Amino acid sequence: MKVTDFILHRQFVKQYRRQSPAIQQAFKQRRDLLLTNPFHPILNNHPLHGEWAGHRSINITGDLRAIFKIEETVVIFVTIDTHAKLYD
């Protein structure tokens, strides 16, 4: 998986703006890590199934996840929320 760029889906932007500055900063750090080392253990980058089939998830904080999909070499961040809200 080689990624060179990213896009923020409008739903992601809406949810991202609701996050605290500390969470926003944590996302930026994890986003940059994803672009340079997509399978770094701290990310817990893994494919999703069911409703989210075709997407992947990374850890932002202990409970916060960012869901994305990859199209060619571009990561498209789709949503960001807690584990419970995303997978209930």
Q: Is the pLDDT of residue 87 over 90?
A: no
pLDDT score, position 1:
67
**CA-to-CA separations, 23 to 19, 28, 59, 66, 71, in angstroms, rounded:** 6, 9, 12, 11, 26
Report how far residue 79's alpha carbon sits from residue 43's, in angstroms, rounded to the nearest whole number: 16
Report how far residue 27's alpha carbon sits from residue 29's, in angstroms, rounded to the nearest whole number: 5
Query: What confidence tier does 2 reach under pLDDT thresholds 50, 70, 90?
Result: confident
Q: For 25, phi and psi rounded to 5 degrees? A: -65, -40
Q: For the segment 41-85, what is each residue's pLDDT rounded down to a tens digit?
A: 999 999 999 999 999 999 999 899 999 999 999 999 999 999 888
Q: Is the pLDDT of residue 8 over 90?
A: yes
pLDDT score, position 88:
73
Per residue in 17-31, is it b (16+ CB within 10 Å) or e — as a string?
Answer: eebeeeeeebbeebb
The domains found in the chain, sorted by start residue, are 21-70+81-88 (3.30.2310.20)
Q: Is the pLDDT of residue 4 over 90?
A: no
Which residues lie across from 67 on neighbouring strands?
57, 79
Report how far residue 4's alpha carbon sits from residue 52's, in angstroms, rounded to the nearest whole number: 23
